Amino acid sequence: MRHFKPITKPPKHLFNEGGNERHEGKIHAKDITLFSSENDTAYMYIKASGLVFMISKTVFNELNAQNNALSISDAAVKLEWDGLRNIGVFSPLPGSNEQKGISTININISHSCNISCRYCFADGGMYEGDSRIMSLSLLENIVKGFLAHLDRIQENGNIVLFGGEPLLAMKSIYRVASLVKDEMNNSKKHVWLDVFTNATLVDESFVQFIKENENIRLLISLDGYPEINDLYRKSRTFSVSERVEKSIYWLLEAGIPTERMVMRCTMGGLERDLCRRIEYFVSLGMVNIVIDAAHVNENSEIPKHEDILHSIINQLPEVKNQLIGFRKNSKNVNVNLVSEMVSRLLNPREEYQYMSPQCPAGTKYLAADCDGYLYPCHFFVGNKDHRINHVLEGFKQKDMLTKNNGVSLLKKEVYPCSDCHIAGLCEGICPYKYDSMGADFDTWLPSFCEYMTQRVVSALNYVDECYSSRPPFDHAWKILLKSRDTLSSV
């Protein structure tokens, strides 16, 4: 293919004769988005299917000059364009957002924490209540009920142990792991058990426990190198960063695979040091890194969420170059800001419709507080306005993306996803943040949209640098197009 090099993996349905939906109508300029990379490479992103193609300058110039129904004058370009059109790349991928039931539950086993974070959304882990630990009997009922629920819907599952600090309830963690192991031994299901921890209470027995249970993943919170982390995450009696460094060393020394550990970094300020933080995490042996912007009320000493987003946006090109550097030195480092978007570009998921990003809150995901009450997600724990029911009454779905408890995210006048130029790549707005923005929502939304767009641009630049000579799925597309007799120029 001379003018269209595929960047995206070919969807499986295109290989099935009659399985694709050929695009019979006109293709409009609003149906595609054109990007130009730092290396002056051009890309075409197709909104309906989420597919991405590297395109020639001839294509870019011809399409970029049009703003209505697209027409192709160059004969060679038109031949390829019609071939892609005929196999259905401009049509939505088949699939559905239908969900059988809840497949992930976040259990707050501890409404207490042993450190203090300046940006904590959970009132120090107590969620505006009292410091307490979930009773073991209630925890067992929740886990057993959830595992039975997975049996009914015939799904694999994910249990997240949360807080506060869950390691304050170590016996509870051991008990959950035992129940899950018994379930997996007696069925064909796989259930991941994620522990969301500050890692300051890790000891040798816990390390051995993690080693023996291969379905357990650790989500470790650390905000960066010691000077920055200890500015935002504090203890009165010890250095948080020193404790976490030691815990990570023990875990890696014991042979815990890096893919079972994720470093979670919250940006609580406007420091221009993202690359330094990432370099520090990598020096500790961590290669899977998630970076989020802190979100607090406007009376906090923490900067506004949109200001932190802009700080991240300004540093994205540096982060992208840093990841390319790691790759060239044979280090596979993943940072969500770029790597997550690269994954979406290269592997669009057929089970989702691309025009409506779906938050899992209330439809695939629930959170339980220490008393067993369920909420759409952990951010809403403690907010009685968003309480769904008690867990002993069952795992009821409560769609947060429809008008529910004051949260309405997909109304076009408020949240215009269907018209967005990167609708299929955006993760969508967090319902909790939307609900808490109030009057600031109109000023925050443009910042969020720019943040997501720039992540796409950084990901495309990463792909350009790493895959420009040989797009990763080019051969598969050639086989597909030849087998369908659609392009004589392949």
d(CA 314, CA 310): 6
Q: Which two tokens stand for residue 350?
A: 């057929």
β-bridge partners, 289: 263, 335
Distances (CA, A) of 249 to 103, 205, 244, 256, 409: 32, 14, 9, 10, 43
Please state the φ and ψ torsions of residue 381, each to the nearest 5 degrees. -55, 135
CB 8 within 8 A of CB 425: no
Extract the tokens encoding 423.
């609708």
- 390 - beta bridge partners? 373
| Cβ neighbour number for residue 455 with a 10 Å cutoff | 26
Q: What is the pTM of this model?
A: 0.90
Element at 265 (helix H, strand E)? strand 261-267
Q: What is the pLDDT of residue 355?
A: 41
Strand partners, 216: 193
How far CA 209 is from CA of 171, 196, 214, 332, 448, in Å, comes to 11, 16, 9, 27, 40
Q: What angle do CA 252, 219, 201 make, to 5 degrees?
A: 70
pLDDT for res 88: 83
Among 430, 454, 302, 317, residue whose Cα is nearest residue 376: 430
Q: Which of 244, 245, 194, 232 is nearest to 215 (CA)?
A: 194
Helix (H), strand (E) at residue 445? helix 441-467
Amino acid identity of residue 270, one-letter, is L
Counting as low any pLDDT under 50, the low residues of the chain are 19, 96-97, 351-357, 403-414, 486-490
pLDDT for res 351: 46
Query: Can you tell me the distance from the alpha carbon of 115 to that of 317, in angstroms, rounded to the nearest whole number?
Result: 33
Tokens of 255: 């042979």
- pLDDT score for 253: 97
